[in-house]
Structure 1
Amino acid sequence: MALSDSSSGGLRAAAAMTVLGCSAGVTALLAGFPSAGGQAVRYVLAAALLLPLAHRAGGPRPRLDRREVLLLLALAAVGLYAFNLLMVTALRHTEPAVVGSVLGCAPLLMGVVGPLLERRRPQARLLLAGVAVVAGAAVTQGFGSGDPVGLVCAVGTLLCEVGFSLLAVPLLPRLGAVRVSAYATALAVPMFAVTALVLDGRAALRLPSGAELFALLYLGAVLTCGAFLLWYGALGRLGAERAGLFAGLVPVSAALSGAVLGAGVPHPATLAGSALVGLGVGVGLTGPDPRMRGRQSAYAAG
């Protein structure tokens, strides 16, 4: 039996955010690798996989107009380039828990900004669901300390994460998830490559160790290709505000995967936070799609 858009989108969003949450331990393997150079390699690998898929995607290949080119450039610059640089800077100035708690606000922010960009009123049910998800993510992640620079960069990372989704929303209906992912990753490569050369010069790249090579392959193929395709597929089916609720799964999957890998039994706060996130996601997925309500109102007015 075919899945509904809500069920299919929910599964895709959950899988994407679980992959992202589980990537924390893999990313740590690159602690000693040149940062910008490593990101350039990651996106080269991803683009090498995604561009052939985009070329073979069904239907005629659409010719990009000026607006779409600008949106793709903004998506690569904000959602990929700036996000990663701000994340690295934030983690140098504050504890990971602070960054995680700030990023946990993404569901609520997307629940407000997403509908406003589509000229709709935010839906109270989804805002309440977003509050539950944010609270659950904060309880799961915990809190930490840091300096003002770290907090500012963490907030910037949050805005970039929201931009990664909202900038893609107007592109997805015509280009599809594969093309949006492929074009954005390809555009991010020169941004990181130039930064690597400016910051590190000849030291921008070196031969990776076995563990570093595994991390680069995981981040390029599994996280960037797999999670991007899953996430953009979910956005098209659920809309920004409902898909955004699944961002609360990132700290949950990070904590639970750490326990599976030997970090010990999950803390009771982790289980309580996970339950809150699950409650918020469940509430958010019940009821009609708020985008359809807006369309029905438009049809009635017409």
Structure 2
Amino acid sequence: MLLSVTDMEQSAARARGMAQAALAMVATGTIAAVAAVIAHYPVYGGQAIRYAVATVFLLGVAQWRRRRRAARLSPVEPDALLVRPTVREGLLFTVLAATGLAGFNLCVVEATHYTSPATIGTVIGSAPIIFALIGPLMERRRPTARLVTAAVIVTVGAGLTSGLCGNRPLGLVLAVGALLGQVAFSLLAVPLLPKFGPILVSAYSSAAAAMILFAIGLAVDGTAVVRRPSVSEAVSIGYLATFVAITAFILWYDAINLIGADLAGLFSGLTPVSALATTVLLGVRTIRPAEFVGSVLVGLGVVLGVADLGAPRSRSARPAA
């Protein structure tokens, strides 16, 4: 009976992890439509504000949760302090923020000057293959043939959904930089999650990203790094801070904790599908046959990858933070 209960709990955890990974990538896909609203706002200043708002909220949530937990365990002397990173962990957070957040945004923004958004989406859409190969190696296990096959299918589908086209070579190089940033955002968090948990990993990386982006903004835009936003710009920045930089980050990092970076990485193929669906729902344009086929391939690849789960995989104990 105990074994069956454990199996049920593990199955429920895997199902929750997959649902969270899917929701996180769907939320990420909506960025393209929202970005059009803040196209004329200082790019780096806007991103810095977004991550700063997310940091304040995430640290507040983490502190509140620890206060409640400490009060239950030791009402006399509650330990309300947040888990602080060591020097080594602080450096890892900085690298994560510089590559997976600030670097990713920098590459995407600059790539649009040299190539089409479709090319950028196609390159970033190849992330599932990297997750399928590197994710298991980080956990000291072999990549499975079925999961790698599923990743290839998802990548092809993401490419069709984004549209296979390109322009100047520098644009392709920057798009590859964005791809590496997206992968770093997930894989560099793997050694941090057992100690800090999804909320603090999101908070500390957002804080580092805000400082990095603000510094870049000062260098590029000077005193014009920030300005008073319009109502629509404020709403859009707020959306990016709350729904993407807070909600999606927590969902994604918790999903990695539950199902591993390789399986969670499959769901990154949903990002261009979500972006396409958002533009269609907003009436910006209609879907093309190749894009429809690509969306179907992404779905088939995800289903094949989910079938690869097989026996439950052991995960390190999840932290309280």
Fold-level similarity (TM above 0.5): yes
Sort the TM-score into its range (normalised by shorter chain).
Answer: over 0.9
Q: Which amino acid aligns with 1:77?
A: A
Residue aligning to 1:149: 170
Residue aligning to 2:133: 112
How far is 1:293 from its partner?
A: 8.0
Residue aligning to 2:288: 267
Residue aligning to 1:137: 158
Q: Which amino acid aligns with 1:4?
A: A
1:163 to 184, 202, 214: 184
Residue aligning to 2:76: none
Moved more, 54-63 or 170-179: 54-63
Does the aligned pair in 2 maintain the 1:239–1:291 contact within 8 Å? no
Give the 5 Å matches for 1:217-296: 217-288=238-309, 292=313
Cα-to-partner distance string for 1:158-204 (whole Å, 9 max, x where unaligned) = 00100000000111112110010011101112111111111111111
Does the aligned pair in 2 maintain the 1:120–1:294 contact within 8 Å? no
In terms of fraction of residues, the more helix-rich structure is 1
Verify: 1:95 aligned to 2:111, yes or no.
Answer: no
How far is 1:261 from its partner?
A: 1.0
Residue aligning to 1:35: 43
Verify: 1:85 aligned to 2:106, yes or no.
Answer: yes
Cα-to-partner distance string for 1:251-301 (whole Å, 9 max, x where unaligned) = 111111211111344222222111111111111111436883899xxxxxx
Q: Which amino acid aligns with 2:29?
A: G
> What is the total number of aligned residue pairs between the two structures?
295
* Distance in structure 2 (CA, Å) of the matches to 1:191 and 1:212: 22
* Distance in structure 2 (CA, Å) of the matches to 1:291 and 1:34: 46
Structure 2 gaps, min length 5: 1-7, 70-78, 317-321
**What SS does the corresponding residue of 1:170 show, helix, strand or coil?**
coil
Q: Which amino acid aligns with 1:66?
A: V
Verify: 1:216 aligned to 2:261, yes or no.
Answer: no
Give the 5 Å matches for 1:46-61: 46-58=54-66, 61=82
CA RMSD of aligned residues (A): 2.0
* Distance in structure 1 (CA, Å) of the matches to 2:129 and 2:311: 15
* Distance in structure 1 (CA, Å) of the matches to 2:84 and 2:143: 33
Cα-to-partner distance string for 1:45-69 (whole Å, 9 max, x where unaligned) = 1112111112223456434233322
Structure 1 gaps, min length 5: 296-302
**TM-score when normalising by structure 1:** 0.92
Residue aligning to 1:13: 21
1:198 to 207, 219, 227: 219
Q: Which amino acid aligns with 1:22?
A: T
* Distance in structure 2 (CA, Å) of the matches to 1:290 and 1:160: 31
**What SS does the corresponding residue of 1:55 show, helix, strand or coil?**
helix
* Distance in structure 2 (CA, Å) of the matches to 1:37 and 1:44: 10
* Distance in structure 2 (CA, Å) of the matches to 1:241 and 1:35: 32
